[in-house]
Protein backbone atom coordinates (compact mmCIF):
# COMPACT_ATOMS: atom_id res chain seq x y z
CA UNK A 1 0.00 0.00 0.00
CA UNK A 2 2.81 2.39 0.84
CA UNK A 3 4.49 1.55 -2.45
CA UNK A 4 1.24 2.28 -4.31
CA UNK A 5 0.85 5.67 -2.61
CA UNK A 6 4.43 6.54 -3.45
CA UNK A 7 3.87 5.76 -7.14
CA UNK A 8 0.73 7.89 -7.19
CA UNK A 9 2.59 10.76 -5.55
CA UNK A 10 5.47 10.49 -8.03
CA UNK A 11 3.07 10.44 -10.99
CA UNK A 12 1.23 13.50 -9.67
CA UNK A 13 4.52 15.35 -9.25
CA UNK A 14 5.48 14.54 -12.84
CA UNK A 15 2.10 15.78 -14.11
CA UNK A 16 2.50 19.00 -12.13
CA UNK A 17 5.94 19.57 -13.65
CA UNK A 18 4.56 19.01 -17.17
CA UNK A 19 1.69 21.45 -16.59
CA UNK A 20 4.09 24.07 -15.22
CA UNK A 21 6.40 23.53 -18.19
CA UNK A 22 3.52 24.04 -20.60
CA UNK A 23 2.50 27.27 -18.84
CA UNK A 24 6.13 28.50 -18.97
CA UNK A 25 6.40 27.69 -22.68
CA UNK A 26 3.15 29.54 -23.30
CA UNK A 27 4.39 32.62 -21.44
CA UNK A 28 7.71 32.50 -23.29
CA UNK A 29 5.88 32.50 -26.62
CA UNK A 30 3.75 35.48 -25.63
CA UNK A 31 6.88 37.36 -24.56
CA UNK A 32 8.57 36.51 -27.86
CA UNK A 33 5.58 37.94 -29.70
CA UNK A 34 5.63 41.09 -27.55
CA UNK A 35 9.30 41.66 -28.33
CA UNK A 36 8.85 40.96 -32.05
CA UNK A 37 5.90 43.34 -32.37
CA UNK A 38 7.85 46.07 -30.58
CA UNK A 39 10.83 45.62 -32.93
CA UNK A 40 8.55 45.91 -35.97
CA UNK A 41 6.89 49.04 -34.58
CA UNK A 42 10.19 50.64 -33.47
CA UNK A 43 12.12 49.95 -36.64
CA UNK A 44 15.28 48.75 -34.90
CA UNK A 45 16.47 46.71 -31.94
CA UNK A 46 17.86 49.61 -29.92
CA UNK A 47 14.62 51.61 -29.80
CA UNK A 48 12.65 48.43 -29.11
CA UNK A 49 14.98 47.60 -26.20
CA UNK A 50 14.49 51.11 -24.75
CA UNK A 51 10.71 50.83 -25.05
CA UNK A 52 10.67 47.41 -23.38
CA UNK A 53 13.26 48.25 -20.72
CA UNK A 54 15.44 45.33 -21.83
CA UNK A 55 19.07 44.98 -22.94
CA UNK A 56 19.45 45.15 -26.72
CA UNK A 57 21.14 41.74 -26.72
CA UNK A 58 18.06 40.20 -25.07
CA UNK A 59 15.75 41.67 -27.71
CA UNK A 60 17.96 40.41 -30.53
CA UNK A 61 18.30 36.90 -29.09
CA UNK A 62 14.55 36.69 -28.39
CA UNK A 63 13.69 37.47 -32.02
CA UNK A 64 16.33 34.98 -33.19
CA UNK A 65 14.81 32.28 -30.96
CA UNK A 66 11.37 33.06 -32.37
CA UNK A 67 12.65 32.73 -35.94
CA UNK A 68 14.41 29.46 -35.08
CA UNK A 69 11.25 28.06 -33.51
CA UNK A 70 9.08 29.05 -36.48
CA UNK A 71 11.70 28.04 -39.04
CA UNK A 72 11.27 31.25 -41.04
CA UNK A 73 13.02 34.62 -41.35
CA UNK A 74 10.75 37.33 -39.96
CA UNK A 75 13.06 40.36 -40.25
CA UNK A 76 15.45 41.78 -42.80
CA UNK A 77 18.35 43.25 -40.83
CA UNK A 78 20.60 46.13 -41.93
CA UNK A 79 23.12 48.15 -39.95
CA UNK A 80 20.55 50.86 -39.14
CA UNK A 81 17.02 49.50 -39.44
CA UNK A 82 15.13 46.24 -39.54
CA UNK A 83 12.12 45.56 -41.74
CA UNK A 84 9.70 42.65 -41.59
CA UNK A 85 9.79 40.14 -44.41
CA UNK A 86 6.53 39.15 -46.09
CA UNK A 87 6.21 36.34 -43.58
CA UNK A 88 7.09 38.79 -40.82
CA UNK A 89 4.28 41.16 -41.81
CA UNK A 90 1.76 38.31 -41.71
CA UNK A 91 3.05 37.04 -38.38
CA UNK A 92 3.12 40.57 -36.88
CA UNK A 93 -0.59 41.06 -37.61
CA UNK A 94 -1.51 37.83 -35.85
CA UNK A 95 0.98 38.34 -33.00
CA UNK A 96 -0.28 41.89 -32.37
CA UNK A 97 -3.85 40.62 -31.93
CA UNK A 98 -2.69 37.92 -29.50
CA UNK A 99 -0.51 40.35 -27.50
CA UNK A 100 -3.37 42.86 -27.27
CA UNK A 101 -5.78 40.14 -26.15
CA UNK A 102 -3.30 38.92 -23.53
CA UNK A 103 -2.77 42.47 -22.21
CA UNK A 104 -6.52 43.02 -22.03
CA UNK A 105 -7.02 39.78 -20.12
CA UNK A 106 -4.21 40.64 -17.71
CA UNK A 107 -5.57 44.14 -17.16
CA UNK A 108 -8.73 42.79 -15.58
CA UNK A 109 -6.76 41.78 -12.48
CA UNK A 110 -4.15 44.50 -12.16
CA UNK A 111 -3.86 46.25 -8.86
CA UNK A 112 -5.52 49.61 -8.45
CA UNK A 113 -3.29 52.45 -7.25
CA UNK A 114 -4.79 52.33 -3.79
CA UNK A 115 -3.96 48.59 -3.55
CA UNK A 116 -0.22 49.25 -3.94
CA UNK A 117 1.57 49.52 -0.61
CA UNK A 118 4.93 48.94 1.00
CA UNK A 119 8.37 50.51 1.23
CA UNK A 120 10.30 51.67 -1.87
CA UNK A 121 14.01 52.55 -1.65
CA UNK A 122 15.38 54.71 -4.47
CA UNK A 123 18.89 56.09 -4.89
CA UNK A 124 19.57 59.18 -7.03
CA UNK A 125 22.00 62.11 -7.36
CA UNK A 126 21.50 64.73 -4.66
CA UNK A 127 20.54 67.62 -6.94
CA UNK A 128 18.12 65.45 -8.92
CA UNK A 129 16.42 64.59 -5.63
CA UNK A 130 16.36 68.19 -4.36
CA UNK A 131 15.41 70.00 -7.55
CA UNK A 132 13.37 67.52 -9.61
CA UNK A 133 11.96 64.71 -7.48
CA UNK A 134 11.12 65.98 -4.00
CA UNK A 135 9.21 69.08 -5.28
CA UNK A 136 6.81 66.71 -7.09
CA UNK A 137 6.31 64.08 -4.40
CA UNK A 138 2.83 65.40 -3.57
CA UNK A 139 1.67 64.01 -6.93
CA UNK A 140 3.18 60.62 -6.12
CA UNK A 141 1.62 60.63 -2.65
CA UNK A 142 -1.81 61.37 -4.10
CA UNK A 143 -1.46 58.47 -6.53
CA UNK A 144 0.12 55.93 -4.16
CA UNK A 145 -0.88 56.95 -0.61
CA UNK A 146 0.11 53.61 0.95
CA UNK A 147 3.71 53.64 -0.36
CA UNK A 148 6.52 54.75 1.96
CA UNK A 149 9.48 56.25 0.09
CA UNK A 150 13.09 56.07 1.20
CA UNK A 151 15.22 58.34 -1.01
CA UNK A 152 18.97 57.95 -0.80
CA UNK A 153 20.31 61.20 -2.28
CA UNK A 154 24.03 60.63 -2.73
CA UNK A 155 26.60 61.13 -5.47
CA UNK A 156 28.49 57.89 -4.92
CA UNK A 157 28.24 54.59 -6.73
CA UNK A 158 26.41 52.03 -4.62
CA UNK A 159 25.88 48.29 -4.54
CA UNK A 160 22.13 47.89 -5.08
CA UNK A 161 21.97 44.40 -3.58
CA UNK A 162 24.04 44.90 -0.43
CA UNK A 163 22.35 48.24 0.37
CA UNK A 164 18.83 46.99 -0.34
CA UNK A 165 18.06 49.54 -3.08
CA UNK A 166 15.02 48.82 -5.28
CA UNK A 167 15.74 51.33 -8.06
CA UNK A 168 18.21 54.04 -9.03
CA UNK A 169 18.12 57.18 -11.14
CA UNK A 170 21.35 57.88 -13.02
CA UNK A 171 22.63 60.59 -15.37
CA UNK A 172 24.50 58.34 -17.75
CA UNK A 173 24.46 56.40 -20.98
CA UNK A 174 24.68 52.72 -20.05
CA UNK A 175 26.31 51.22 -23.14
CA UNK A 176 26.75 47.78 -21.59
CA UNK A 177 25.07 47.04 -18.27
CA UNK A 178 23.44 44.13 -16.49
CA UNK A 179 20.87 46.56 -15.09
CA UNK A 180 17.40 46.71 -16.62
CA UNK A 181 17.19 50.38 -17.49
CA UNK A 182 14.70 52.74 -19.09
CA UNK A 183 15.38 56.21 -20.42
CA UNK A 184 13.11 58.70 -18.65
CA UNK A 185 14.37 62.02 -19.96
CA UNK A 186 17.19 64.29 -21.06
CA UNK A 187 19.18 66.77 -18.99
CA UNK A 188 20.96 69.61 -20.83
CA UNK A 189 24.65 69.97 -19.96
CA UNK A 190 26.16 73.47 -19.78
CA UNK A 191 29.61 74.84 -18.99
CA UNK A 192 29.31 77.41 -16.19
CA UNK A 193 31.43 79.71 -14.05
CA UNK A 194 30.96 82.31 -11.34
CA UNK A 195 30.84 86.00 -12.26
CA UNK A 196 33.94 86.69 -10.16
CA UNK A 197 35.96 84.03 -11.96
CA UNK A 198 34.99 85.38 -15.40
CA UNK A 199 35.85 88.92 -14.32
CA UNK A 200 39.33 87.78 -13.29
CA UNK A 201 40.17 85.26 -16.03
CA UNK A 202 37.89 86.24 -18.89
CA UNK A 203 35.28 84.19 -20.74
CA UNK A 204 36.48 81.29 -22.92
CA UNK A 205 34.90 81.49 -26.37
CA UNK A 206 36.12 78.23 -27.91
CA UNK A 207 37.18 74.84 -26.51
CA UNK A 208 40.78 75.74 -27.37
CA UNK A 209 40.59 78.63 -24.86
CA UNK A 210 39.92 76.19 -22.01
CA UNK A 211 43.56 75.17 -21.76
CA UNK A 212 44.25 78.55 -20.09
CA UNK A 213 41.44 78.15 -17.55
CA UNK A 214 40.90 76.28 -14.30
CA UNK A 215 38.42 73.44 -13.88
CA UNK A 216 36.60 72.44 -10.70
CA UNK A 217 37.30 68.72 -10.96
CA UNK A 218 34.72 66.07 -10.08
CA UNK A 219 35.58 62.50 -9.11
CA UNK A 220 33.52 59.80 -7.45
CA UNK A 221 36.73 58.23 -6.16
CA UNK A 222 39.74 60.25 -5.03
CA UNK A 223 42.27 61.02 -6.32
CA UNK A 224 41.01 62.11 -9.73
CA UNK A 225 42.85 60.39 -12.58
CA UNK A 226 42.64 63.40 -14.90
CA UNK A 227 41.41 66.97 -15.17
CA UNK A 228 39.46 67.29 -18.41
CA UNK A 229 36.54 69.17 -19.96
CA UNK A 230 34.26 67.02 -22.10
CA UNK A 231 31.91 68.56 -24.62
CA UNK A 232 30.93 68.96 -28.26
CA UNK A 233 32.60 70.84 -31.08
CA UNK A 234 31.04 70.75 -34.52
CA UNK A 235 28.73 67.97 -33.39
CA UNK A 236 31.53 65.64 -32.28
CA UNK A 237 32.66 64.77 -28.77
CA UNK A 238 35.99 66.23 -27.69
CA UNK A 239 38.12 66.29 -24.54
CA UNK A 240 40.35 69.20 -23.45
CA UNK A 241 42.97 68.86 -20.69
CA UNK A 242 42.70 71.67 -18.11
CA UNK A 243 44.35 72.96 -14.95
CA UNK A 244 42.66 72.27 -11.62
CA UNK A 245 43.42 73.09 -7.98
CA UNK A 246 40.13 71.79 -6.52
CA UNK A 247 38.52 68.36 -6.77
CA UNK A 248 35.17 67.40 -5.17
CA UNK A 249 33.02 64.28 -5.02
CA UNK A 250 29.47 65.65 -4.71
CA UNK A 251 27.19 67.99 -6.63
CA UNK A 252 26.67 70.62 -3.94
CA UNK A 253 30.42 71.18 -3.50
CA UNK A 254 30.80 71.17 -7.28
CA UNK A 255 28.34 74.06 -7.71
CA UNK A 256 29.82 75.90 -4.72
CA UNK A 257 33.28 75.63 -6.30
CA UNK A 258 32.06 77.52 -9.34
CA UNK A 259 30.09 80.13 -7.38
CA UNK A 260 33.16 81.00 -5.30
CA UNK A 261 35.45 81.40 -8.30
CA UNK A 262 37.54 78.20 -8.26
CA UNK A 263 36.97 77.37 -11.91
CA UNK A 264 34.59 76.16 -14.57
CA UNK A 265 32.08 73.35 -14.11
Domain of 208, in residue numbers: 195-259
Q: Let me know whether 67 and 6 are in one domain.
A: yes
d(Cα 215, Cα 217) in Å, to the nearest integer?
A: 6
**pTM as predicted:** 0.51
Q: At 228, give phi and psi (nearest 5°).
A: -135, 145
Q: Let me know whether 74 and 161 are in one domain.
A: no
Would you state the pLDDT for residue 160?
Answer: 77
Q: Let me know whether 63 and 132 are in one domain.
A: no
Indicate the residue among 80, 107, 134 that finishes a domain. 107
Looking at the predicted structure, is the pLDDT value of residue 11 above 80? no
Would you state the pLDDT for residue 111?
Answer: 57
Q: What is the pLDDT of residues 98-157, one digit of tens each?
A: 888 887 777 666 656 567 888 999 999 888 898 889 999 999 998 889 899 999 988 777
Would you say residue 188 lies in a domain? no
Q: Is 125 left (phi over 0), alpha (psi -120 to 50) or beta?
A: beta
Counting every residue written for the chain, the total comes to: 265
Looking at the predicted structure, is the pLDDT value of residue 23 above 50? no
Average pLDDT over residues 204-212: 92
Contact 74, 87 (CB under 8 A): yes
Q: Count of domains in the chain?
A: 3
Where is pLDDT greater, at 179 or 239? 239
pLDDT confidence tier of residue 4, bands split at 50, 70 and 90: very low
CATH of the domain at 119: 3.40.190.10
Amino acid sequence: MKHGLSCHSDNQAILDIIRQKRRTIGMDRIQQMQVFVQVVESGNFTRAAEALGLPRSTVSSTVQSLEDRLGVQLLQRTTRVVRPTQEGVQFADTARDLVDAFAQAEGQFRLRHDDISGRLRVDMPSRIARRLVIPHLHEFRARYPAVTLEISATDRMIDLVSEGIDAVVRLAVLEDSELICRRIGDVPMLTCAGAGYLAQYGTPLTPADLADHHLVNYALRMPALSSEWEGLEGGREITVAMQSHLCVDNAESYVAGALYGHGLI
